[in-house]
Structure 1
Amino acid sequence: MGARLAERARKTFQNGVAFINRPVGVKERVCLRVERCDQHWEGALRVGFTSVQPSLMDTPASVAIPTLTDRPGYWAAPVPQTLTTLGSELQFWVDSKGTVSVMGSNGMRYKLLTGVEVKKKLWAMIDVYGQTRAVLLLGSRKKVGNSFSSRRSCPTLPPPPVSPGDSCLCISEGRRCHPCHKHNAFENRPTAPPAGLYPEDCSVCLSEIATEVLSCGHRCLCQHCARRVMRDFGRCPLCRFPITPLHDVLG
């Protein structure tokens, strides 16, 4: 794939952080396609930018959020899961005000985060996380001067169509495959809760059903505990990503 495929090991939901190998410009759109999915995890693709040259990182990060975003010079946010289904194409970019946005093939744009330091060199960051197991880099697009045309990097032949053969789509097919029960056993650390056909208990009170999907993609709180956690802590109890209202949709 010419170093354009970023794929995570199937047995885990993390250890999939990748970077574009050159700095990207303001308003330059990084284009991706979701190649493989494993629906038995919660959460999905995260994207963002860093002002730290990736080759100078001291230690590899297991996840972008919060391992990297707790450090200065890293900005990342979850992509809405409606944009991360198998075969979906999307693009993300940062504008001159430091706002990171993402757009799916349906043309809808979502604001993911603000505060990126655009006066520094920036490298695009992709976290192949949760339900997203592999993404293919389709190059980037950048507007040419003041014209309405754009220039695309990495001119290549169109990639082959996505095949679901190597993806686990057990949830959408209305069944739960046996390997799904075993995936969390590979990790000796706290794991993302499995997504399945059966309800999960609230991770705080352990007595009510978890119904609230947080902005990080985790469904781990009942309605009562979600209000209390947002008021008192403001972070997901599983990954510590800040709890915010649903992503703002830009017109």
Structure 2
Amino acid sequence: MVNETNTKKSDAQRPHVCGPCCLGPIGFHARVRGDKVCLSHGGRLAEREQGTFRNGLVFINRPVKVNEKLCIRVLQEIPSWHGALRVGFTTVPPVASLPLPDFSIPNLTDTPGHWVVPVHESFTRVGSELSFWVSAGGSIYIKNKNMKHKALTGVDISQALWAIIDIYGQTSSIFLLGSKKTKGLCRRKSCPAAECLTLPNVDKPCVEVDNRASSPYTDSSEDDLCVVCFVTEATNFLSCGHRCLCDDCYPRYLQEFHACPLCRERITASSEDIRYVPGGLQH
């Protein structure tokens, strides 16, 4: 006879319901964004104030995988500005980039560990959908419905990578559709699935997103939250001493990456047996 209590507990601990082909939840980083950016619709809609062309930096809220294609839709533009969207990747954890500069190019690209490229204006018209990713060879590709473009080479893929999007110039509003990765016959995608999303009504006023609304640890300070999901309290110490990952993100992060997301120190096996409980550590 199945233990109903254990079954319910197991279901509650499950991070998502898409199954083994899920790449995990994805959205814009709630804490690290430009001064003129507002997030809404569960952290998927990013809007820059229309009175400026800068301060539009946003980051994806978790490290992305090599060949994981990030898909976005352009919702609004301001033709009076010059230039448009800029995309790229960084090995620097987003929280380490605070306070954010006004621009990705040249402010971020002049510092080590950042690779950002401008997207041609023909790719960023209202309603356009485009994807970008970094290949196994360390190249950034940008693709729309009709064209695939190799934009830059030399990205360091030996470390964890976070995606950068600069809502710059003419581009003033974008919607994150999700991400996908194909290898052979296996196709994986982010959770929730992009096709299940409802396109937001861009005429509605922007409302600040609070990704902690459904967290069981809403009394925790932001410094106590997992640096991957920024939803649940970080309960796991790494060998460097940082407590920065929750129970759901911890095993998945260790499967993909081997360095602390904060200080980049290599994670040793000893950290796998260390947990945090209120009042102290547990081995």
TM over 0.5: yes
| Percent identity for Structure 1 against Structure 2 | 47
Q: Which amino acid aligns with 1:28?
A: E
Distance in 1 of aligned mates of 2:95 and 2:202: 33
In the aligned structure 2, how far is the partner of 1:110 from the partner of 1:165? 34
Equivalent positions of 1:63-102 (< 5 A) are: 63-102=103-142
The question of 1:42 aligning with 2:82 is answered yes
Match of 1:18 in 2: 58
Secondary structure at the counterpart of residue 116 of structure 2: strand
The partner residue of 2:189 within 147, 152, 166 is 152
- Tell which has more relative contact order, 1 or 2 (C-alpha 8 A, sep 6+): 1
Report 1:32-181 matches (<5 A): 32-106=72-146, 108-144=147-183, 146-147=184-185, 149-154=186-191, 155-156=193-194, 157-160=196-199
User: Compared with structure 1, are the counterparts of its residues 11 and 48 closer, same or farther at alpha carbon in structure 2 (3 Å cutoff)?
Assistant: same
Q: 1:160: Cα distance to partner?
A: 2.5
| Deviation readout 1:69-103 (Å, 9 max, x if unpaired) | 00000000001111100010000000011110100
Report the residue type matching 2:166 in the other structure.
Answer: D
Aligned residues of 1:87 and 1:162 also touching (Cα < 8 A)? no
Question: Counterpart of 2:106 in 1: which secondary structure?
Answer: helix
| TM-score, with structure 1 as normaliser | 0.62
Counterpart code for 2:123: L
1:15–1:62: 8 Å Cα contact kept in structure 2?
yes
Q: How far apart are 1:165 and its partner, in Å?
A: 10
* Aligned positions, number: 163
Question: Of Structure 1 and Structure 2, which has the larger fraction of its residues in strand?
Answer: 2
One-letter amino acid matched to 2:103: V
1:158 Cα offset (Å): 3.4
Give, as a single letter, the amino acid of the residue that structure 2 aligns with 1:37: E
Instruction: Write the distance in 2 (CA, Å) between the matches of 1:109 and 1:8.
Output: 27
Instruction: Give RMSD over aligned pairs.
Output: 1.9
**Separation (CA, whole Å) in 2 of partners of 1:99 and 1:164:** 37
Deviating 4+ runs (over 4 angstroms): 161-166
Deviations 1:208-241 (A, max 9, x none): xxxxxxxxxxxxxxxxxxxxxxxxxxxxxxxxxx
| Distance (whole Å) between structure 2 residues aligned to residue 83 and residue 14 of structure 1 | 19
Aligned CA distance change for structure 1 residues 164 and 90 (closer, same or farther; 3 Å): farther
Give how far 1:6 is off: 1.5
Shift, 1:16, TM fit: 0.4
Q: In structure 1, what is the equivalent of residue 225 of structure 2? A: none
CA contact (8 A) 1:86 1:164 kept: no
For 2:69, the equivalent position in structure 1 comes to 29
Structure 2: how far apart are the matches of 1:164 and 1:104? Answer: 25
Secondary structure of 1:49's aligned partner: strand
The runs of 5 or more residues in structure 2 that have no matched partner are: 1-40, 206-283
Larger radius of gyration between Structure 1 and Structure 2: 2
Taking structure 2 as the reference length, the TM-score comes to 0.55
Deviation of residue 159 (structure 1)?
Answer: 2.7
Question: How big is the shift at 1:112?
Answer: 1.0
Cα distance in 2, alignment partners of residues 41 and 133 from structure 1 = 10
Q: 8 Å contact 1:19–1:125 — kept in the other structure?
A: yes
Distance 1:57 1:163, change over 3 A: closer
> Counterpart of 1:177?
none
